[in-house]
Structures are given as C-alpha cells and as structure tokens.
Structure 1
C-alpha cells in the first residue's frame, strides 16, 4: 500500500474558504433549513385539514404550524438573496449567529409542542395523528441541530471531514461525550476507502456512538443479516458490491427498513443518490463531509428509527382497536 493510501495519512490542509464557497455553503444551509421547515409546516397543515377532535388539539397544532412559519420567515429574511450578496468572510459569523439567536424561541418550541400533542392525541383516542406528529418532531430535531451546529462550529473555522481535523475544544468534546444515550447509536459504517472509514470512525466515536465497520458491500450484508443496527452509513461506489446493490439485496431479503440508511456520495454521483433514495435509502450526504450537517443528519436518522418503532406500535394499537370493533 502506498504511503498516500495509509489509514493514518491525513490529506493536506485546505486554505480558508473564499467568499464564493461561503455563499454556496450558506445557500446549502438555507436549503436544509427549508427542507426541515417544509415537514413541520406541511404536516401540521395536513393534520389541521383533517382533524376531527378536541379544540385543544387544533389550538396546539396551529401553534406548531405558527412556530414553523416564524422560523421560515426569519430564514427567508436573514438568508435571502440580499443577505447573500452582502456576505463576506467577516460578516458570515455574525449572520449565522444572529439567525440562530432570532430563531431560538420558535424553533425550540416545536419539540415540546409535539410532546404535548402526542399526549393530547393519546388522551383523546386520536392515535392516527401520532405517526405524523413523530415525523414533525424528527424534523424539529434536525432544524435545531442545524441552527445550533452552524452557530457553534462556525464555517470558516470548521473544515469538512476529510480535511485536517480542527483542534479539539475540550468544552465541546466534553459536552458531546455527555450527550444523552438516546442521542447515541450503534452505527454500521460501510466504505471501501480506509482513510474515509478511519476519519469517520474517530469522529463518530467522539460523538459517543458505537461504530462497526465494513470494507465493502458483501461484508456489510453479512453484518446486517447477523445483528441489528440503529443506523447505516453506506458508500455508493465500492468494488465488490455497490451501495445500490446492497439496497437491492436488503429489499429482496426483507431487511430494508430495520435501520435508517444514509448514503455517502461524491458531488458528481447525483444519479446514484437518486437511485439509492428510490430503492429505500433515507437520506444522503456528500463528500467531503461537513461536521455540522452530518451530525444533524445522523441525529435525525436516529430520531427517525425511534419514531418508526413508535409508529409500528401505534399501528398495531390501531389494528387491535379496529379488530375489537
């Protein structure tokens, strides 16, 4: 193996991002925030249109939709075209932090509202509402993680994974190590590139996750058949069996859906990403990875797995109620 491919060899340091790169990054942040808000607002409106229940439920749902709409208005204002035109390496930190501060109150209201709504739905016997409320809560988690993450690990000082690692912040590392166990997971990392696996594994372990590795598609399938995982990070391009082929086998063996799957792709592999999503992958991230976005995606995927388990339980409860009638 050549020195440039040894797992302990790190890529060269990247220069600080230029203003054009910053604009693209902020545009990407705006897209991700809007995606989460589409779920919060859209699902809330769907529930309001079909709700047949106590007025208290409607009031809470309207508050939930209002919280999402308030954050969306701030995102559109603070990250709109005019703001991007005025963006520079010196103004970006203030812009992102100001957005996080402005959105803090309405964004932090989403999860408690969902918790209250789930309890109210259970009390009113409106069990059919609960799976959708779980999806809204997962989107709210993603939203808060993006806002907090980009503010805490500001972009010009946080190179993507795959670049030279940032000097550890003892306070931040301690905070991550003390993260609630519900935010940690048993993760399968599938990638034929040993450098990528090594960088990602070390970072994931620092977040408190338990990580197993597979160097290819066949090894990944053996592990997935043998035991359960909370999340799979699956590379698209591998020499023995591609990520697409892994998804096809999982579907054929009725193993798809046990754990959320996040596809790892290069920027020029968009067609492969689309095929993976069509075959049952839950999300994707592009290489080189940005820590804030990857952490938010992983957190949302772990939330999704827990909500799927709750959803299955509620669907079973509904089936029993229909049978009893």
Structure 2
C-alpha cells in the first residue's frame, strides 16, 4: 500500500539555491554576525577606555572583548572569500554547522560574562555602566540566535534572504519550540496587508508571544495611547499614515522609546528605513522575511526593552540617592 506523503515533506521538485543566491545568503549571515560582534567588541573597548577601576570589572571586560574577538576571527576565517571558493548547496549546511561548532565556546561565554559584569557593577555602585553592559548582552543574545538559527535551517532548500516565510517547512526556525516565558512579549503588529499580518501573527503566537494587530498607522497610534507593549513591528508603507508619520507622532507625544520599534520594509525602501532609524526606530527587517533573522531581531529588541526598564529603575535609584544626600 502506498504510504501517504508526510504533510511536512519538502516539495521534491523544488530546485536548490543557485550559486549567486548562496553567496548572498552567506554574505547576509556574515554581515549580521559582524554587526553583533561590532557591538560586543566596540562597547567593551569603550568601557575599558573610560573605566578606571575596579580591576575585577576591567578583567571581565577584557575577557568579554576577547570572546567577541575570537568569534570574529572565526567568522572571518570560515566565511571569508577563500573559504567560500567552492561553495555549493551541498557544502553550505556543513559550513554553517562547523561555523557554529567553532564559535560555540567563545560565543557562549558572552552571556555569563555580561551577567557577572552587571552584578559586579551593581556591587561597586557603578550604575552608569549597566546600560552599556545590557546592550552588549543583547548583542550577544542575537549573535547566539543567529549561529543556532542558521545551523538549524535547511539552507539548501531555503529561499535566500526571504522568499516565502518558512512556516510549513520542517525544522529550522519557523518550527522552533516556544520560547521560555521570560523571553516572550506583548507585541503590536502594524501592517495594512492582511496576509503579512496573518503569517507573522501565527508565527509569533507559536513562539508564545501575545500579539495585537493594527491595520494602519491611525489604529496603531490609538492602541499605543491606551496600552503598553513590549515591542512594535511597524510597516513602513501604509495608506492612512505611514511608519515615518507614526514615529513622528510618537515622538511629539513623548511616547517614543517606551517600546522598541522594528520597521518592516521592502528591499527597495532603504531611504525610508534610514528616515525611520533617524526618527527613533530601533531596527528594521526587510520583506519577504528571513525568519531566522527576524527571530533574532525580535529577541534582541525584547532584551533591550527589559534593559531599558532596568535602566529607568537605576536612574530612579540614583535620583533618590542624590535627593537624600542634600
């Protein structure tokens, strides 16, 4: 008897990625990894230049900088031009898995180093260090998510830098298990396209996020005036009020910065993305979405939200201490 086809089986006729698509995918991965590492290394070096002590914190900062530099050296070696000379659909999965294995030790050291540094800064009363340490920690989270997500993805069959979101494909990021409760968020999804909203809502809910939707800029502003969100996914082009105008209104009303904003844009809307970032958006992703990257971006944004709350708490503590000292 003929066995029924598995519902999660990949279409047998689907061709592998072409050479140019493979190179674009690897270039994209290399760019995103380097972006995260720039934050880890750059912020660590900045703190080392400005911090005069204590030595315990300086030693941990040096270890953090070294961990970032070690990962960067591996990325440059494994994803450099020479290593990619014979890149193909059959060799790419092993390349990415080997990259993740090689980076595992130094990359996994970033989070505990940041945790120890935050505790040491609190103990020493160096509260001003904590916001920057939180940024490093968020960059480390994104770095590890990218390494893990791309390694799990079925790269030979995956659309490069987008394609249709991989909600029906087995394995990979789209079918990843729900996030721990501490990593979930209340997300506002703003897009006038019902298909985009439906795809993203299903994907976000499967990860355990709470999602509310707005079909345009005016509806989004009404929700943001009446409720608190952990993150806003904001489409750039909408018929009633576009993403730039939404950001301008939020800034004018003093609401910008309460929740991180990730702008959703098409590949040809780069000027709009620049304008959005200049007006206070925190990040952007391009349509069609690469779900591994989107997951990493969202997790980083939610980390930033939690760190901003801690920063406000520290600022309040410092204000109370200054007031009591008068």
The corresponding residue for 1:190 is 190
Are 2:234 and 2:261, in contact at CA under 8 Å, matched by a contact in 1? yes
Distance 1:88 1:128, change over 3 A: same
Q: 2:315 matched to which residue of 1?
A: 315
- The 8 Å contact of residues 17 and 157 in structure 2, kept in 1 or not, is answered as no
Deviation at 1:111, TM superposition (A): 0.6
Match of 1:85, SS state, is coil
Q: Distance in 1 between matches of 2:168 and 2:137?
A: 31
Q: Deviations over 1:113-169 (max 9, x none)?
A: 010011111111111111111111000001000000000113223444635633344
Q: Which runs of 4+ in 1 moved over 6 A?
A: none
- 1:18 is displaced (CA, Å) by 1.3
Counterparts of 2:111 and 2:317, CA distance in 1: 24
Q: How does 1:195-206 map to 2 (within 5 A)?
A: 195-206=195-206
What is the aligned partner in structure 2 of residue 167 from structure 1? 169
Moved more, 67-76 or 125-134: 125-134
Q: C-alpha offsets along residues 200-242 of structure 1, whole Å, 9 cap, x if unaligned?
A: 1111111111111111111111111110111110000011110
Shift of the 255–167 alpha-carbon distance from structure 1 to 2, 3 Å rule, reads same
User: What are the ranges of 5 or more consecutive residues in structure 1 without an aligned counterpart?
Assistant: 1-12
Q: Is the 8 A contact 1:161 1:291 kept in 2?
A: no
Match of 1:10 in 2: none
SS at match of 2:284: strand
**CA distance change for structure 1 residues 20 and 170 in 2, over 3 Å: closer, same or farther?**
closer
Correspondences of 1:63-212 after superposition (within 5 Å): 63-159=63-159, 160=162, 162-163=164-165, 165-169=167-171, 173=175, 176-177=177-178, 179-212=179-212
Q: 1:15 to 1:255 in 2, by over 3 A?
A: farther
Q: Secondary structure at the match of 1:118?
A: helix
Structure 2: tracts of 5 or more residues without a match: 1-12
- For 1:140 and 1:114, the matched residues in 2 are separated by 9
TM-score computed with the length of structure 1 as normaliser: 0.91
Deviations 1:268-323 (A, max 9, x none): 00000000000000000001101100000000000010011111112222333344
Aligned residues: 311
TM-score by length of 2: 0.91
**Does the 8 Å CA contact 1:188/1:212 hold for their aligned counterparts?**
yes
Question: Is residue 258 of structure 1 aligned with residue 258 of structure 2?
Answer: yes
Match of 2:48 in 1: 48
Partner Cα separation in structure 2 for residue 240 and residue 16 of structure 1? 40
Q: Following TM superposition, by how much is the alpha carbon of 1:81 offset from its aligned partner in structure 2, in angstroms?
A: 1.3
Partner residue, 2:294: 294
RMSD: 1.9
In structure 2, the residue corresponding to 1:296 is in which secondary structure? helix
Q: Hey, what's the Cα distance between the residues in 1 that align with 2:166 and 2:315?
A: 47
Determine the C-alpha separation between the residues in 2 that align with 1:133 and 1:164. Answer: 34
What is the match of residue 268 of structure 1?
A: 268
